[in-house]
Amino acid sequence: MKILANDGIADSGITLLVKSGHEVITTKVAQNKLADYINSNQVDVLLVRSATTARKELIDSCPKLKMIGRGGVGMDNIDVEYAKSRGLEVFNTPGASSNSVAELVFAHISGLLRQLHDSNRQMPLEGESRFKDLKKAYASGSELRGKKIGIIGFGRIGKAVGRIAFGVGMEIQVHDPFLENSDFEVHFADGQIINTSAKLLSMDEILKTSDIITLHIGGKAEIIGEKEITKMKEGSYIVNTSRGGVVNEEALDIALESKHLAGAAIDVFNNEPNPAIKLLMNPAISLTPHIGAATREAQNRIGIELASQIIALSK
């Protein structure tokens, strides 16, 4: 089969596909020219990440397309049910990037609690002239151990966050309306496995008692708005590496300005790739440009998982 990886694919995936007799094209085709390219090159499989969309119009325009694969968790950029109704196989790689996202969450959290995000802004500007003042300003950080982390959405990524939280001694409490229990396993480098569980709470309890809240849910519906932020614990933090839109950015900005919240971390934004400048300039926010799954290890796993699914489906 002929496979167009329009947003790229790791060499590990290409190697596996080529060995199985498939052709892989990594040419980046503009969205408005994609249908013509697929048809003129007789592409059987379209692979995307977050940049390319596969909507009804594209699906209707490419009657010979057999599969659409998404390298990552979310399928918001694909009309999944419509594609399936037209006989296409649609798949993603839900587990490949869980650890990468979880580690980014803790990079943000650790930085926020020690004010590294702001220190890294100020040291190049004033470190030479105001070193002692900055030392005093950033001397009021706090530790992760003993903090209550509230995880909203306890699927693959939520559990990966829980494992790291367990390892650093945090109290883990979760909210997930689709779960009956919050059991999870923690695997250690020496082969040990510990079976444990988080405290399963209502949304209100999570909001009122958590020192840090992190979201790991599907869809783009607003989960944390002005009402929810008001309920959050005074001086707490919120992390969004999930989806743009699940946190009301305007309400978040107001809560940070009023000091009701001590800080926030954002990897995903409402208006990507043009985030609100007010958020970008807020010194209480730790910022990254949608890089949750963007590690070499995760991209290798994604490539292998995509290739394995194509090979299995093609048989």
The whole-model pTM stands at 0.91
For position 219, what pLDDT does the model report?
81
Active site residue 290: yes
Q: What is the CA radius of gyration of the chain?
A: 22
Q: For the segment 142-192, what is each residue's pLDDT rounded down to a tens digit?
A: 999 999 999 999 999 999 999 999 999 999 999 999 999 999 999 999 999
Task: Establish whether domains 2-96+296-314 and 98-287 are of one fold.
Answer: yes
The domain 2-96+296-314 is placed in CATH, from the list 3.20.20.10, 3.40.50.720, 2.170.16.10, 1.10.3470.10, at: 3.40.50.720
Residue carrying structure tokens 């209707």: 60
Q: Of residues 143, 226, 272, 297, which has the active-site annotation?
A: 272
For position 4, what pLDDT does the model report?
98
- C-alpha distances (whole Å) from 250 to each of 130, 147, 258 are 33, 27, 12
Q: Do 219 and 76 contact (CB within 8 A), yes or no?
A: yes
Q: For the segment 11-23, what is each residue's pLDDT rounded down to a tens digit?
A: 999 999 999 999 9
Specify the CATH number of the domain 98-287. 3.40.50.720
Q: Of residues 108, 243, 301, 305, which has the active-site annotation?
A: 243
pLDDT at 50 over 90: no
Active site residue 175: no
pLDDT at 119 over 90: yes
d(CA 168, CA 144): 7
Q: Of residues 86, 114, 130, 290, which has the active-site annotation?
A: 290
Q: For the segment 237-269, what is each residue's pLDDT rounded down to a tens digit?
A: 999 999 999 999 999 999 999 999 999 999 999
Q: Mean per-residue pLDDT for 125-149? A: 97
Active site residue 180: no
d(CA 156, CA 202): 20
pLDDT at 315 over 90: no
Question: Rounded mean pLDDT of the chain?
Answer: 96
